[in-house]
């Protein structure tokens, strides 16, 4: 089946620094990738949608200058949290959609990245 | 806006007992509804989906869910719980651009 990986699985960074999270589709080409954020005991909240080679579409309330998303290839999307603050600590999950002809709910999820900002 | 609400953040059952995880939806149009499972340190996996076809939907690992319009519900059931079913379960619906998830229910299976 389709596999999506994320790296790193856990990261601890100091306040004010930037951290990059990678999301890769391992055995398929992902024309669309989604980034979600999950706070403890809360649901996954969509942050942004990115299509390969174009700018990401951010959800309302998500700061595009703080959460930089790059989808430079059909197998890789990155999320960079810039000038991280403790309130950015969260679980970040990416998912990938296999081709424009698939239904939007046919997404494959990565295992998530736990970010802790100290 | 379409949304889902999961009742109960934690459910504990004994091995072999019935599993019932509750999900109610809010939608002005016939919804698409999904159940996902998340095992520790793994990505979400689709258990089953309702897309306006049969109201009783069978999924993987022996799970099924019934769409009940009169109750605006899409509860997930399994007749007999296994230890391996212990995980986090998410109900979801289709939003404007992507999936919209419930808050999740952690299923604990006691030996």
Q: What is the pLDDT of residues A47-102, one digit of tens each?
A: 999 988 888 999 999 999 999 999 888 899 999 999 999 999 999 999 998 766 66
Could you tell me which of B30, B20, B3 has the C-alpha nearest to residue B105? Answer: B20
Residues of B with Cβ-Cβ distance to A42 under 8 angstroms: 103-104
Would the pLDDT of A39 be above 80? yes
Distance between CA A82 and CA A15 in Å, rounded?
A: 10
Are B99 and A107 an interchain contact pair (Cβ–Cβ within 8 Å)? yes
Band of residue A107 on the pLDDT scale cut at 50, 70, 90: confident
Identify the CA nearest to A37 among candidates A72, A66, A13, A17: A66
Residues of B in contact with A25 (CB under 8 A): none
Tell me the average pLDDT across B71-82.
96
Query: Which residue of B lies nearest to A109 if distances are taken between CA atoms?
Result: B43
* Mean pLDDT, residues B14-42 taken together: 89
pLDDT at residue number A104: 64
- A39, closest residue in chain B (CA to CA): B103
For residue B71, is pLDDT > 80? yes
Q: Supply φ then ψ for residue A28, to 5 degrees.
A: -155, 165
CA–CA distances in Å: residue A80 to residues A2, A40, A62, B82: 24, 21, 13, 39
CA distance A84 to chain B (A): 23
Calpha distance B32→B51 (Å, rounded) = 5
pLDDT level of residue B54 (50, 70, 90 thresholds):
confident
CA distances from A84 to A34, A68, A116 (A): 21, 12, 9
Which of residues A58 and A1 earns the better pLDDT score? A58
């Amino acid at each position: 089946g389709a596999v999506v990986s994320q790296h790193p699985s856990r990261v601890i960074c100091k306040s004010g620094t930037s951290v990059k999270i990678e999301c890769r589709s391992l055995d398929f080409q992902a024309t669309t990738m989604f980034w979600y954020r999950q706070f403890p005991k809360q649901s996954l909240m969509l942050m942004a949608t990115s299509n390969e080679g174009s700018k990401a579409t951010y959800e309302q309330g998500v700061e595009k200058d703080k959460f930089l998303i790059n989808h430079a290839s059909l197998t890789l999307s990155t999320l960079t949290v810039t000038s991280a603050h403790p309130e950015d600590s969260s679980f970040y999950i990416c998912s990938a959609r296999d081709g424009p002809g698939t239904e939007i709910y046919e997404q494959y999820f990565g295992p998530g990245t736990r970010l802790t900002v100290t | 806006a379409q949304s889902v609400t999961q009742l109960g953040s934690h459910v504990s059952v004994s091995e072999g007992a019935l599993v019932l995880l509750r999900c109610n939806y809010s939608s002005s149009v016939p919804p698409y509804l999904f159940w996902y499972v998340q095992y520790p340190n793994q990505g979400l996996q689709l258990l089953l989906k309702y897309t306006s076809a049969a109201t009783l939907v069978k999924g993987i690992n022996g799970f099924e869910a019934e769409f009940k319009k009169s109750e605006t519900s899409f509860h997930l059931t399994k007749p007999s719980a296994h230890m391996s079913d212990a995980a986090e379960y998410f109900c979801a619906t289709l939003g404007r651009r992507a999936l919209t998830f419930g808050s999740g229910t952690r299923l604990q299976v006691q030996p």
